[in-house]
Each structure stands twice: as structure tokens, then as C-alpha cells.
Copies of this chain bind each other. A is one copy, B any other.
């Protein structure tokens, strides 16, 4: 077990240090992690990171190595070092479950406890949610575009090696079928996939020898990469070597829409009617959608997935929204908000539900402030217990998150399925104290670039 405690911005500890000395470190507070808005052009976002966050929380301890560093770097003084050496998060977390959708203003995670224990988690929480949700959001658009055809995740080489592991997990939640990343397979129990690269074909004196070697040791059901030299010739060889029983061919170059039809026609003409065609040439959700009419049996996606397909981060922020009126235990909480230009926050504890109509279609994200909105029979409450008094209670198998995502995405109205220049699929309604919708401050006006 490696400590996650230094995956933290220095200012979190500087704040705790000053708060400890001034006696405010134990003030009871509530922070919320949320997006001010969806990225431009996106109809919805997908929550991911919850499971990884709970894992990181378990390992968020300052051991001797961490404390030594902080003292040596003069980040900590003795009082802070003493506080940190005993640190364990003892507060509460409530949040959206993994795989759920989100919209502008959705209160994805609420963290409650003493100021010191809540603020010190800021960077780690934001890193995990901002990354994993960006990947899941892109992945969901791709699986939606594929309309049931399988997508494999092949992006490890295009991103940081540990991001790659987390990206494979997020993509699986959003419906990807497997990953090429072995560490993701081991760590999260994901299905893994992969056969051969061009280099394998080039290693042999002829393409036929390379195909033979792969077929001998991986069986006829393997997928042969057919575009190292000449596609038509490669397919003739591959079909001949397998008597037409080849599992699949992979095409990684060229104009896929044309190429795939030619390959299908050639395979069928040679009697290899069951041979699958997998394509992998720098695909994104738009290219996947453009191949809807082409005889593609599966997609491999790399760069576009691991870079969030144009939106590599979600812009989630983590803000104090309520604090106790004094340092006394049990002092009442009241709303707080900052007012700086373009970056105001809405103070107070949020409650959230998705309004679902009688046909099962989502109508709105309804956010109550300091008051739970009234739920009709179809509505779904969105906040679930994750941590209670420092105990993790929100663990769940990744399969549950994957199934949840498929289920809740099916509730999107038709306009939530647009890929290009999408508007938010449903509005976010912020209710006032009397439960009436106010102006939706999180979705009005053009999206500013500052977070």
C-alpha cells in the first residue's frame, strides 16, 4: 500500500497549518464537488471515479516518509506534523453513484467534517473525479454511437501509464467491452484484449509466415492484422490458411468506410462469411457514427478516448457551501458562498433528484438548496451514502456501475443523443427555499472559460 496523502496541493496543508494555530481547523464544514456547467457541445456527463476515490481515501495516511518530507520541505511545522501523523478522515461523504449522468450544477460529491479533514482531500478528490469522469463522458458518447457493436479500449500508449489504467476502468463503466491494458485487467478485473501489431508481421520474412505463427499459437479464432503491406493479398492468405474459418481481421489505416466494404465483399466471396472486421484507425465518436452503415463488427479506440475526445478534464470544482456558526460541537450550519467575479457559488447543502416522466424519460435535474425537492413516483434521488463517520459504505462492484450507466442513459430524451454541438439534454432546476425553480444560474449564458 502506497500512501496517497501527498497527491495534494501544498496550499491545502498551508491552510490547515494556519487554521490549526488560529483554532478554526475543527470548525464543522460542508464542501461540494460539482461542475458549473457541461463542456460546450456536450449533452450530458458521466460520473466516474467514485470507486477509485474510496480506494484512495483508504490509503490517505501520512506515514513517517510523508511527514519527514513535509518537515524537511518546511511545508509542515511541528503542530501540523502532529495533526497529520494521526490523520484519518472521520467525516461523511454523500454523492452521485458511479455510472450516473450529471449536468451543470449536479452536486456530485458532498464532504462534511472538520475544516482540516475536508479541505485536505480537495486535490485528490478533484484529480480522480476530473479525470475519470472526462474519460467516462467521452466513452459513453462512443458506445452510444456504436449502437451495440463492441468497442475495445486501446489507448494506453497515448496517455500517462497510470491514467491509462484509470481510463480503461472509466471506459468499461461507460460500456466498452474490453481493454488492452493488462494492469487495468489485473487491478479492476476487466476483460483484456489484443492480438498483434504490424511489427509482428514485419518480424517474419513473409506475411504468410507471420499469419501462420499467430494462427498456430492463438488458434483460428484470432484476429489477423491485414494492412501491413497489401490488404487484398493479406486477406486471400488469411482465408486460405484457415479454410475460411478465421475469427477476425483488423484494419488500421486507409479510408475505413470504403475499405471495410471492400474487405467484407472479399471475405464473403472467399466464403469467410463469419469472419469479423475490427477497425482501429484513430477513431472517435463521430467516426464511429459515420461507420454505422458499414459492415464493422467492432471498434478499437485509443487517443480520442484517453484524451476525453476534446475535453480532457471536466472542470469540477470543490467549494465550501456551509459552515458551523461556531467551533462548538453541534453548532448550527449556515450557507456560505464566494462572490468573486464570474466565479460565484451557491451556498447551502444541495439535494438532487432526476425528474422522470411516466414514460421513463428524464425531464430535469432538480436541485434543492437546504431542502429536499418533492419527488414524484418516477423520480430518482441521486445522492447515496459513500462514507459515514469515516467508514466506507459506498463500495460496489464495477459491474453495478456499468449496468447503472446503461440503464440511466436510456432515460435520456431524444435530444440527449446528439453527438455534435449538443445542448444539455435536460435543464438543471435550482429550487428556492419554498421549492420553486429559480433562474438556473449554472446553465445560463455562454460558457465562460474560467473554472
> Does A106 count as interface, using CB distance less than 8 angstroms?
no
Contact of A130 among B126, B158, B323, B450 (CB under 8 A): B158
The digit string for A241-268, where 1 denotes a CB below 8 A from any CB of B, is 0000000000011100000000000000
Task: Tell me if A127 is interfacial: C-beta within 8 Å of chain B.
Answer: yes
Task: Flag if B18 contacts A213 (CB, 8 Å).
Answer: yes
Known A18-B216, A131-B163, A312-B307; judge A157-B193 contact (CB<8 A): no
Residues of B close to A342: CB separation below 8 A: 253-254
A127–B196 CB distance below 8 A: no
Query: Is B180 in contact with A156, judged by CB distance below 8 angstroms?
Result: no
Look across to chain B and name the residue whose beta carbon is closest to the beta carbon of A13.
B182
In the complex, are the beta carbons of A340 and B254 less than 8 A apart? yes
Tell me, yes or no, whether A24 is within 8 Å of chain B by CB: yes
**Stretch in A117-125, A367-375, A424-432 touching the partner:** A117-125
How many copies are assembled?
Answer: 2
Closest B residue to A156 by CB, please name it: B123
Report Cα–Cα, A343/B124, bound state, in Å.
40
Contact with B along A118-143 (1 / 0, CB 8 A): 01001110111011100000000000
**Chain A 265-300 per-residue mask, 1 if CB under 8 angstroms from chain B, else 0:** 000000000000000011000000000000000000
- Is A100 close to B, CB under 8 A? no
Q: A85 in the interface, Cβ–Cβ < 8 Å?
A: no
For A123, what are the chain B residues with a Cβ–Cβ distance below 8 Å? 156-157, 161, 180-181
Alpha-carbon gap, A126 to B229, bound state (A): 24
The CA of A75 and the CA of B179, in the complex, are separated in Å by 13
**Complex Cα spacing A197 to B15, Å:** 8
**A303: interface (CB < 8 Å):** yes
Contacts A164-B127, A192-B75, A338-B202 hold; do A7 and B156 have CB atoms under 8 A apart? yes
Q: Find the B residue at minimum CB distance from A182.
A: B6
**Are B19 and A183 touching (Cβ within 8 A)?**
no
